[in-house]
């Protein structure tokens, strides 16, 4: 897998790019507050699939709570793999890069998020926002929140949660955009994993080469090693630069950053 910070930044980059280039669609006409909520959800969701790995950094986001949840998700993912694998799929222990690394999971997460945002009036919405805020903090601010600093992460996530709840209009298009943001974040994670050495079973359960868990990936020469020089020195900084650029475009389109008026932010548009 790519590292947590790279995943989180890829989620933010994907959200910023999608909203900046969405034109007059509902995704391209979000309010500034709606865009910010989506950015938090997308950055957090870009780490969500790795909850199937008990040793991943994201699994320690909220201490024993997410650690226990990660073990459960890993076991469920492993069970699904064992039941649906073909003879061509490799034999393996554990459930990492299983069900949570598929488009089926991304769609499911998107639908559940949309349903909670549009219908919740009590505990579900705050819990959802708190959870994704914590993942976003864990990924984006990894330098300031060590692996075992669950208390610091929780406090920061609570502040973000309060802002997200204040800025989420359950009756507007912003609510549906929350589900889209989670789906985009998951897909950004899959693409990040696909360019690593192991690939990613994005298209499960569609059989490819007689495998239901076919690891989608580019040719080996185009793959990178997790945490290696290419990821840390090239991919990470590039994603950060694009995220800042596309975020500026999207926020300007939403009516913020008036000082950018008259500047061709997207030259080819």
Structure-model confidence comparison of residues 74 and 62, the more confident one: 74
Q: What pLDDT score does 121 carry?
A: 66
| Secondary structure (DSSP) of 239-256 | HHHHHHHHHHHHHHHTT-
Q: What pLDDT score does 175 carry?
A: 76
Cβ distance 96 to 169 under 8 Å? Answer: no
Percent of the chain residues topping a pLDDT of 90 = 51
Does the pLDDT of residue 264 top 70, yes or no? yes
Structure-model confidence comparison of residues 58 and 204, the more confident one: 204
- What pTM does this model have? 0.91
User: Hey, which residues does 196 pair with through a beta bridge?
Assistant: 224
Does the pLDDT of residue 21 top 80, yes or no? yes
Q: What is the pLDDT of residues 126-170, one digit of tens each?
A: 999 999 999 998 888 765 555 556 777 888 889 999 998 888 876
The pLDDT of 3-28, averaged and rounded, is 89
Structure-model confidence comparison of residues 13 and 260, the more confident one: 13
Domain coordinates in residue numbering, the chain? 4-248
- State how far the Cα of 83 lies from the Cα of 78, in Å rounded to an integer: 9
Q: What pLDDT score does 122 carry?
A: 74
Q: Which of 39-43, 140-144, 255-259 has the highest mean pLDDT?
A: 39-43
């Amino acid at each position: 897998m790519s590292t947590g910070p790279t995943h989180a930044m890829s989620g933010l980059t994907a959200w910023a790019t999608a909203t900046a280039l969405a034109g007059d669609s509902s995704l391209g006409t979000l309010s500034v507050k709606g865009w910010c909520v989506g950015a938090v959800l997308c950055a957090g969701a870009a780490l969500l699939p790795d909850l199937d790995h008990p040793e991943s950094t994201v699994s320690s986001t909220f201490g024993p709570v997410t650690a226990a949840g990660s073990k459960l998700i890993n076991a469920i993912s492993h069970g699904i793999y064992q039941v649906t694998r073909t003879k061509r799929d490799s034999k393996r222990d554990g459930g990492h890069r299983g069900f949570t690394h598929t488009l089926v999971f991304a769609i499911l997460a998107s639908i559940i998020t949309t349903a909670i945002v549009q219908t919740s009036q009590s505990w579900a919405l705050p819990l959802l926002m708190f959870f994704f805020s914590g993942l976003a903090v864990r990924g984006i601010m990894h330098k300031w929140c060590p692996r075992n600093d669950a208390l610091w992460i929780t406090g920061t996530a609570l502040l973000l949660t309060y802002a997200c709840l204040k800025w989420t209009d359950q009756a507007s298009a912003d609510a549906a955009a929350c589900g889209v943001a989670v789906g985009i974040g998951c897909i950004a994670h899959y693409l990040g994993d696909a360019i690593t050495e192991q690939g990613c079973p994005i298209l499960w359960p569609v059989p490819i080469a007689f495998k239901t868990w076919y690891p989608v990936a580019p040719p080996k020469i185009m793959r990178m090693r997790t945490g290696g020089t290419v990821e840390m020195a090239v991919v990470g900084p590039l994603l950060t630069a694009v995220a800042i650029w596309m975020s500026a475009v999207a926020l300007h389109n939403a009516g913020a950053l008036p000082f950018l008026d008259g500047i061709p932010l997207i030259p080819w548009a």
